[in-house]
Structure 1
Amino acid sequence: MGILTWIIFGLIAGAIAKAIHPGADPGDWIVTILIGIIGAVVGGWLGSMIFGVDVTGFNISSFLVAIGGAVICLAIYRMVAK
């Protein structure tokens, strides 16, 4: 799957990660969306390399992997930024 797809997934996943993991961020909503993009890319890579999840396009498993990666990256960002 291309990087452009993961960026689109990341935009959506960042917003969903913010809803799943609410709270005050050290940055603004743009930082949350950027973390979502990074989380989606990292989640996609981890999902395909470690867990063997086939991330082939816009499907539910790819979307869940992107959201999971975004939530993890958002939690790490909040721990580091405090």
Structure 2
Amino acid sequence: MTGVGWLAAIIIGGIAGWLAEKFMKADMGLLMNIILGIVGALILNAILLAITGGTLGGWIGQLIIGFIGACLLIWVARMVRSKT
């Protein structure tokens, strides 16, 4: 994550994952929320860096990125599950 430490990344990831869980009406646990938020932020940051050459910084920016990334991961997981 850009501009935040590991502890902050875990906290932001947990909040972003929890928000995505509520928004997408999914039922995940705390650990999965943290993982979704962090991985979602990492993936979306990489995409933004490739497309625009930059990304959002700070806690709020990373929370937004993590939320959107986690929503995308939940959506992809649902698409994969529905095809199998």
State whether TM-score is above 0.5. yes
* C-alpha separation in 1, matches of 2:81 and 2:5: 27
Q: CA RMSD in A?
A: 2.4
Task: Check 1:62–1:35 CA distance in 2 against 1; reply closer, same or farther (3 A cut).
Answer: closer
TM-score by length of 1: 0.69
1: distance between equivalents of 2:9 and 2:49?
13
| Consecutive unaligned residues in structure 2, runs of 5 or more | none
Q: TM-score, normalised by structure 2?
A: 0.67
- Counterpart secondary structure, 1:50: helix
Tell which deviates more after alignment, 29-38 or 12-21.
29-38
Are positions 1:50 and 2:45 aligned together? Answer: no
Q: Is the 8 A contact 2:40 2:73 kept in 1?
A: yes
Q: Percent identity?
A: 27
* Between 44-53 and 70-79, the greater mean CA deviation after superposition: 44-53
| Count of residue correspondences | 78
**Pair 62,37 (structure 1): closer, same or farther in 2 beyond 3 Å:** closer
More helix by share: 2
Gaps of 5+ in 1: none
